[in-house]
Amino acid sequence: MEAAPRTSNEKAGVTPLLTFSILSSFLKIHDKMKAAAMTLKKLAVDDPRRVRHSLKVGLTLTVISVFYYVKALYSGLGQSTMWAVLTVVVVTEYTAGATLYKGLNRVIATLLAGALGLGAHRLAALAGNDGKSVLLGVFVFLLAAMVTFSRFVPEIKARYDYGATIFILTFSLVSVSGYRVEELIGLAHHRLSTVAIGVAACMATSIAIFPVWAGEELHNLVASNLDTLASFLEGVGKEYFEQKLESHKNLEGASFLIGYKSVLNSKAMEDSLANFARWEPGHGHFGFRHPWKQYLKIGALARQCACSMQSLNGFISATEKSFEELRFQQNIKTACAVMCSESGKALAELASAIRDMRPPTATAGHLGNAAKVGSQVKMMVPSETTTVEEVLLYATMANLLLEIVHSAKHVADAVVQLANMAKFKHAEEAKSGVVKHNGDGESLHVVIDVRN
């Protein structure tokens, strides 16, 4: 090739170019597949329950399929197979609560709509052969329209949306089938039993084999959100007020500074978990009537707190330069750091109390300290060397921090309320099973006194 005449240069240039472009597209595909593999691996490593869930779905489906495959071969009922398989695929969800919600909705809606469909058939039959199909059409129209409209009611949407769909589905199927009523009863019976078997299989798998409880997920999500907020405050206290203002270290992109954003966006997740948790039986430390709604309240207050943090974060990055030039006054800097770390400790204590399912103890003390220092900051401001601009910046900073302390107090109140509603016990009580009125109980009182 090197000896090729000069005139074929262009051609010789094209071939390597072509080879190169083929190679590079292979490399691109390789890169993409590698990236996809990394994504999948990360999903699996981040939460191994995802892998377990996938295997569970495969297992349930295979068991039901094989069972019915064998049965269908012997009895020749190719069609009845279908409903059990279909039910398993459609009903199985990641959390036990979601599976229970869909399963129960499906069974009950199938039962009710089946009965109503049979009734509609009988009623329509009174109108003679010609009128029957017209009447059935009218019934289907009215029922579908009414049930569809009812799905716009928020309560129905939250608890019975899937049931409403299955209700319309079953009613229409029963109504439009060309069978006589006698055949239909047998068919309905058959269908209901296969649906019930499918649902039972899903529920059994989702509850008995490595269950993922929506309630527990909600519990952990709320606790970890409080932890995220705590680490924001502790990070700001330590890395910003204690170090950064000395060393001019660049904090941009620090992970603790952006964690609150995930808290701001967690409402939809919390709502859906709370909806599903209501369908779950008691599990672990959670009773059947565990106050799941209170978690939503805590979540809402945590988001309010995260909002204040966003304001603080915005203020910090907008005024970074100014503070560096002005040289933050030492006593104010320390006070701000204390406010941050104390309210951070309070939030961390709330998170750990939720996790351990015990009433929070040290929170009130930490928040009391933060508030006390906060009111002192106001008095500190005007030192002799302070310029007007400085005063303004300090004042805003102090007020933003006080707002965070304030909203952390609201969160603390909601967690105390949760502890009362769910009858959380102190570690000692939980062990002995008896409520003690000495020891820790008293120290709790002292802590509460500090708060008032």
Sole binder of a second copy in the list 135, 168, 212, 298 (CB under 8 A): 168
Which part of the chain contacts a second copy (CB under 8 A), choosing from 11-19, 118-126, 250-258, 381-389? 381-389
Q: Is 261 exposed, middle or buried (0-12, 13-18, 19+ CB in 10 A)?
A: middle
Sole binder of a second copy in the list 406, 417, 444, 451 (CB under 8 A): 406
Sole binder of a second copy in the list 58, 281, 284, 439 (CB under 8 A): 58
Q: Would you count residue 395 as binding a second copy (CB under 8 A)? A: yes
Please, what is the minimum distance in Å from the beta carbon of residue 416 to a second copy?
21
Smaller CB separation from a second copy, 83 or 279: 83
**CB of 328 within 8 A of CB of 386?**
no
Measured distance CA(376)–CA(408) in Å, rounded: 19
Sole binder of a second copy in the list 175, 206, 343, 369 (CB under 8 A): 175
Half-sphere exposure of 50 (CA within 13 A, CB side): 8
- Which residues inside 191-230 make contact with a second copy, applying CB under 8 A? none
Smaller CB separation from a second copy, 12 or 192: 192
Q: Would you count residue 288 as binding a second copy (CB under 8 A)? A: no
Sole binder of a second copy in the list 108, 118, 169, 326 (CB under 8 A): 169
**Closest C-alpha among 240, 270, 297, 328 to residue 422:** 297
Sole binder of a second copy in the list 381, 444, 447, 448 (CB under 8 A): 381
Smaller CB separation from a second copy, 125 or 381: 381
Measured distance CA(213)–CA(274) in Å, rounded: 11
Smaller CB separation from a second copy, 181 or 392: 392
Cα–Cα distances (Å) from 422 to 296, 350, 351, 418, 444, in that order, read 14, 15, 16, 6, 19
Please, what is the minimum distance in Å from the beta carbon of residue 22 to a second copy?
28
- Which residues inside 132-161 make contact with a second copy, applying CB under 8 A? 133, 136-138, 140-146, 148-150, 152-153
**Closest C-alpha among 340, 359, 353, 450 to residue 403:** 340
Sole binder of a second copy in the list 122, 267, 327, 436 (CB under 8 A): 267
Which part of the chain contacts a second copy (CB under 8 A), choosing from 95-103, 301-309, 356-364, 437-445? 301-309
Smaller CB separation from a second copy, 249 or 267: 267
**CB of 223 within 8 A of CB of 411?**
no
Which part of the chain contacts a second copy (CB under 8 A), choosing from 173-181, 229-237, 238-246, 427-435? 173-181
Please, what is the minimum distance in Å from the beta carbon of residue 46 to a second copy?
9
**Closest C-alpha among 351, 49, 346, 323 to residue 206:** 49
**DSSP SS3 for 361:** coil
Please, what is the minimum distance in Å from the beta carbon of residue 267 to a second copy?
6
Sole binder of a second copy in the list 18, 176, 208, 446 (CB under 8 A): 176
Smaller CB separation from a second copy, 243 or 329: 329
**Closest C-alpha among 81, 85, 83, 78 to residue 62:** 85
Core vs surface per residue 129-164: b (16+ CB within 10 A) or e? eeeeeebbeebbeebeeebeeeeeeeeeeeebebbb
Sole binder of a second copy in the list 209, 391, 421, 430 (CB under 8 A): 391
Q: How many CB atoms lie within 10 A of CB 402?
A: 20
Q: How many CB atoms lie within 10 A of CB 9?
A: 10
Please, what is the minimum distance in Å from the beta carbon of residue 323 to a second copy?
13
Q: How many residues does the chain have?
A: 452
- Which residues inside 62-121 make contact with a second copy, applying CB under 8 A? 62, 65-66, 68-70, 72-73, 76, 78-79, 81-82, 85-86, 89-90
Smaller CB separation from a second copy, 22 or 392: 392
Smaller CB separation from a second copy, 38 or 421: 38
Which one-letter DSSP state was computed for residue 47?
-
Please, what is the minimum distance in Å from the beta carbon of residue 66 to a second copy?
5
Q: Would you count residue 35 as binding a second copy (CB under 8 A)? A: no
What lies within 8 Å, CB to CB, of 86 at 6+ separation is: 198
Measured distance CA(290)–CA(280) in Å, rounded: 10
**CB of 415 within 8 A of CB of 349?**
no
Residues in the interface with a second copy (CB under 8 A) total 85
Which residue type is seen at 263?
V
